[in-house]
Amino acid sequence: MRDMQAQLNRLETEASECALIASLATDKKKRDLFARLAEHFGVLAAEVKRAIAEANLDK
């Protein structure tokens, strides 16, 4: 379970950093790319959160 929490933290950090880069980027292609990456990392983080919640319910 600890490894899943660590992975969740990493994904949330990646999402935040990508969102920050997207907001600071002056080039539209770079801004769009990092916005998509932030969204993707956010989806992955949500899936890991769901898996953690399910694992806790199974206990």
Residue 48: per-residue pLDDT: 97
User: What total of structural domains would you count in the chain?
Assistant: 1
Residue 58: per-residue pLDDT: 77
Residue 59: per-residue pLDDT: 67
Residue 28: per-residue pLDDT: 98
Does residue 59 lie in a domain region? Answer: no
Q: What is the 3-state secondary structure (H, E, C) of 1-59?
A: CHHHHHHHHHHHHHHHHHHHHHHHCCCHHHHHHHHHHHHHHHHHHHHHHHHHHHHHHCC
Residue 57: per-residue pLDDT: 81
Does residue 24 lie in a domain region? Answer: yes
Q: How does pLDDT run across 21-57, given as a tens digit for each residue? A: 999 999 999 999 999 999 999 999 999 999 999 998 8
Residue 35: per-residue pLDDT: 99
Write the CB contacts of 51 (distance below 8 Å, at least 6 apart in sequence). Answer: 4
Residues 55, 37: Cα–Cα separation, whole Å = 27
Does residue 58 lie in a domain region? Answer: no
Write the CB contacts of 16 (distance below 8 Å, at least 6 apart in sequence). Answer: 38
